[in-house]
Amino acid sequence: MKTIRLTMAQALLRFLDQQYVSVDGQETKFVAGVMGIFGHGNVTGLGEALERSAGELRFIQGKNEQGMVHAAAAYAKQKKRNQIFACTTSIGPGALNMVTAAATATVNRIPVLLLPGDNFASRQPDPVLQQLEVPGDYTISAVDAFRPVSRYWDRISRPEQLMSAALQAMRVLTSPSETGAVTLALPQDVQAEAYDYPEAFFRKRIHVLDRRPAAAGAIERAASVIAGKRRPLIIAGGGVHYSGATEALEAFASAFGIPVAETQAGKGAISWKHPLAMGGVGVTGTLAANRLAREADVIIGIGTRYSDFTTASKSAFGNEEAEFVNLNINGLDAVKLDGAAVEADAKEGIAALAQALIEKGYKSGYAPQELAALKAEWDQEVNRLYSIEKADGFAQTHALGIVNETLLPSDVVVFAAGSLPGDMHRLWRAEEPGTYHAEYGFSCMGYEIAGAFGAALAEPDRDVYAVLGDGSYMMLHSELLTSIQEGTKLTALLFDNNGYQCIHNLQREHGSDGFGNEFRYRSEGGGLTGEYIPVDYAAHARSMGAKTYTVRTAKELREALLQARAEKGTTLIEIKVLPGTNSGGYESWWRVDVAEVSVSDKVQTAHAAMDKRIKGARQV
C-alpha cells in the first residue's frame, strides 16, 4: 500500500481539496476554501499547511470568528448547500467565538465545517495559554461547547483518526436531511504530528446526492388527505430552494389552483406577481396569506420546519378540521403538527404528489376572483406602506419601498434580525429565486454584513445588499473590512432608528413603557432616557475604506442607490429613519409570555390577553 507522510493538518487539507458533490449529473468542487483567524492553537499546524500545502483551496482572512462563520454559512446557502468554506481558529476565545454562528448554521440546516484548535493531546504544557480546565473532567475543553450546536462533533486526538472522522464529516456536510455545523476539534500538537497516510485516502471522491423519492404509500396517504379538501394552502419553505424545486412548485400550484404562502427561507420560490402568490405567512405574514391560513382545511408544507413565526405560535390555522401534509427531506420536520409525513426530496415529492392528484381528478374549491381580490387588497396595502410620508422624518416602510423599486430583480438582499425581517417578509416583492436571503431560523444579529460578504463571494456577478439596523451593525460589522480586502463588493443598507426598536415595540405591546432598548444618553434621573446618541455610522464605515452616503429623504436614497451600483467596491448607505415606522402584524399573533404578577395594570391586562390567545392555539 502506497503511503504519503504528512502532518495531520496537511492531510486534512489534501483530503478536503479532493471532495466533490454531484447533483443531477452536475459535478461541483465541494470545499471552496478555508476562512481563518490564526492563534497559537492553529497557526503552526493548519496555518503551516494552508501556507504551503493548500492545493486549490482559497484562504480568506476573517476579522471576527463569528462573522467569518456567518460568511461561510451564507456562501453555502447561496450555493444551495452544494459548496462550502471551512473555518479555522485557535483554541479558547477564538474557538468559542464561533459557537453562535455554528448554532445559526445548524438551525438553518446549512453546512459549515469548523476546525478549531484544541488543547494539547499530550498534555505536556498544561495548562496552555487559553486552556479551559475542568477539575472534574480533564478531557473537556472549550471546544466541547460545540457539541450541542453541531450536527457532527469529533476530536482528532491521534493523526490516524482523521481518516474516519473526515469521512463522517463529509457524510453529514453533504446530507440534504442531516446537514448543519460539523466540528472537528484539532489539538494543536496533533495538527503538526506526521503520519503515513494511505494514498487512497486522498483520491477524488464524488458524493452523489441522489434525490430521495417519496414512498408510494406516503404519497397515496397524502393525496387522499388533500383530495377530500376544498381550501388547501401551500406553505413553501427553504427546502424548495435547496431542492431546485421552484419551477415544480409553480407548476403544481397552477395545476390544482392552490395558493402559495412562503416562509422567510422559502420566499422567492414563486414570483410575487404570480396570481397564486400570497406572500409571507405567520407572524410576519401578509393579510392575504394569514386569512387563507386561518380558513384552510389542509396545509401542504413543502420544505418547511414550521417555526413559531410561520405558524404564529400554532394559532394561524383556525379551521378545526384542518389537516397537514408535510413534504420534507428531514423526518423531524415531516412529522410536525401531527401531519401526514412524506419524507422525500421536494422536487421528487412534488412530482409524485402531482401525479397522484391528477389521477384523482383534484382541483381546489377556490374561485379565481376570491384569490385575486385577496391579492389585490394586499398589493394596495403594500403600496400604501411604501408611500407613507412623515412630516418629521423618513418612514422605514417608505425607505424600504424606495429600495425595492430601485434594485434589480436579480439583486440579492441579505438580512437577519430586528424589525426589518418583518417588513421584508410582508412587503418585499421578490421576483426571482435566490434573491431573498433571510437568516431567520436563528435571527442572529450581526449576520447581515458577514452574510452579504458570503453571498457576494458565492455570486460575484450579482449585486448583493446587506439590509440591517443600527443595532445589528453595532453587534458585528467586521467583515465589511474583509469584503474590501477581498475586492468582493457588497452594499450595506443601514437603517438607523436609534436602537433595538423591534424589541422596544414588543415591550410596549405587552404592557411595558419601553425600557433599555433605545440608544440614549443616561439622564440626570439615572435612566437611559436622555437624548438619542448621534452616531455617525457612515464615518465609521468610511474609516475602513468603504464608500459611504448618509440619506434622510426618498430623493437622497434613490440617488445614493444608483451611485452605489456604479461603485466598484463596498459601499454603506446610512438611512436615517423614524423609530416605530415599521409595519405591524396582520391578523396574526406571536406568543411572548408576560409576567403573571406585576405592579402594572398594563402588564396584567397584557397577561390576560396572552392567556386567552394561548387557549385558542393548537397544542400539538
pLDDT tens digit sequence for 469-482: 999 999 999 999 99
SS3 619: coil
pLDDT for position 509: 87
SS3 28: strand
Give yes or no on whether 3-208 and 216-374 have one common fold: yes
Contact 558, 406 (CB under 8 A): yes
Cβ neighbours of residue 592 under 8 Å, at least 6 residues apart? 506, 510, 610
Tell how far CA 589 is from the center of its chain.
Answer: 22
Q: What is the distance between the terminal CA atoms of the chain, rounded to a whole angstrom?
A: 57
Cβ neighbours of residue 612 under 8 Å, at least 6 residues apart? none
Of the candidates 64, 545, 588, the one whose C-alpha atom is nearest the C-alpha of residue 285 is: 588
Q: Report the chain's C-alpha Rg in angstroms.
A: 25
Task: Please give the Cα distance from 371 to 375 (Å, whole number).
Answer: 6
SS3 608: helix
DSSP assigned state of 477: -
If the chain, 620 residues long, is cut into consecutive pieces of 10 residues, what is the mean pLDDT of each piece? 97 98 98 98 98 96 98 98 98 97 98 98 95 94 98 98 98 97 98 98 98 98 97 98 98 98 98 98 98 98 97 95 97 96 98 98 96 98 97 96 98 97 98 97 97 98 98 97 98 96 89 92 92 97 98 98 97 97 94 93 91 89
The domain locations on the chain are 3-208, 216-374, 387-498+533-576
CATH architecture for the domain at 387-498+533-576: 3-Layer(aba) Sandwich (3.40)
Question: Which helix (H) or strand (E) is 525 found in, with range?
Answer: none
pTM for the complete prediction?
0.97
pLDDT for position 590: 93
Of 3.20.20.70, 3.30.70.60, 1.10.3720.10, 3.40.50.1220, the CATH number of 216-374 is 3.40.50.1220
Tens-digit pLDDT profile for residues 414-467? 999 999 999 999 999 999 999 999 999 999 999 999 999 999 999 999 999 999
Evaluated on CA atoms 374, 376, 379, 383, the torsion sign reads negative
Of the candidates 372, 370, 418, 426, the one whose C-alpha atom is nearest the C-alpha of residue 397 is: 426
pLDDT for position 404: 98
Of the candidates 324, 358, 355, the one whose C-alpha atom is nearest the C-alpha of residue 341 is: 324
Q: What is the CATH number of domain 3-208?
A: 3.40.50.970
Question: Which helix (H) or strand (E) is 549 found in, with range?
Answer: strand 547-551
Task: Please give the Cα distance from 572 to 484 (Å, whole number).
Answer: 12
